[in-house]
């Protein structure tokens, strides 16, 4: 049975909600049951935001997850809040540009990605979240690139379609950065 439960978290405006929708959409294209839900409570008004994604080959119960097996943290408060909640064996992507801590847990697969630096090299700071998503997809290994890339296209509003290529590049660069780290880790 496949049961993927993710929390993606960071500051409002970093594209957290969108990358959650992209991965949920990719899950749908892979014929899984898939659900996404934002945190829309008072915390989403304080500058931090997160969304939950559940992907499964069986009907999804709650879209909320309390023990995620996949987490992206784009800032330090999100690291503090969600890293301890993670299920053993989970994948954690840390944006090192805004979250300097290292995880002390030895039951997680953690990749540390300077997503803002990579995004700026490609050409736009908004690409940081998709870079993180690329790293996440590489570490988690559940999604076909073609489906995620379709998801990126779907999530881009018509007025930003000129950014599609840059987004896909950011996704690929994020993947590469994670793959390089995962290789070193297994050596």
Q: With binding defined as CB under 8 A, does residue 37 bind another protein?
A: yes
Q: With binding defined as CB under 8 A, does residue 88 bind another protein?
A: no
Residue 101 CA to residue 110 CA, distance in Å, equals: 12
Q: With binding defined as CB under 8 A, does residue 28 bind another protein?
A: yes
Nearest to 67 by CA among 90, 37, 50: 90
Please list every residue from 49 through 78 that binds another protein, using CB under 8 A.
Answer: 58-64, 66
Q: Single out the residue of 38, 108, 166, 176 in contact with another protein (rule: CB under 8 A).
A: 38
CB 10 to another protein: min, Å: 19
CB 36 to another protein: min, Å: 4
Question: What phi and psi, each to the nearest 5 degrees, are found at residue 58?
Answer: -125, 165
Render 8-66 in DSSP notation, one character per residue.
EEEETTSSHHHHHHHHHHHHHHTT-EEEEEE--SGGGGTTEEEEEEEEESS----S--S
Q: With binding defined as CB under 8 A, does residue 82 bind another protein?
A: no
Residue 187 CA to residue 182 CA, distance in Å, equals: 9
Q: With binding defined as CB under 8 A, does residue 85 bind another protein?
A: no
The residue (of 34 and 131) whose beta carbon lies closer to another protein is 34
Chain residues that interact with another protein, rule: CB under 8 A: 21, 24-25, 28, 34-38, 40-42, 58-64, 66, 154
């Amino acid at each position: 049975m496949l049961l993927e439960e993710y929390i993606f978290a960071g500051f409002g405006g970093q594209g957290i909600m969108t990358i959650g929708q992209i991965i949920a959409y990719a899950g749908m294209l892979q014929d899984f049951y898939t659900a996404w839900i934002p945190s829309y409570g008072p915390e989403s008004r304080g500058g931090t935001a997160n969304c939950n994604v559940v992907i499964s080959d069986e009907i999804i119960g709650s879209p909320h997850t309390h023990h995620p097996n996949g987490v992206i943290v784009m800032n330090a408060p999100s690291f503090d809040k969600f890293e301890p909640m993670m299920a053993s064996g989970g994948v954690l992507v840390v944006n090192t540009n805004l979250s300097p801590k290292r995880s002390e847990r030895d039951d997680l697969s953690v990749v540390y990605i300077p997503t803002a630096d990579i995004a700026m090299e490609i050409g736009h700071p908004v690409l940081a979240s998709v870079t993180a998503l690329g790293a996440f997809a590489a570490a988690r290994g559940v999604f076909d690139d073609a489906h995620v890339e379709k998801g990126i296209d779907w999530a881009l509003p018509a007025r930003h379609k000129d950014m599609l290529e840059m987004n896909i590049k950011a996704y690929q660069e994020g993947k590469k950065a994670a793959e390089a780290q995962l290789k070193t880790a297994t050596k």
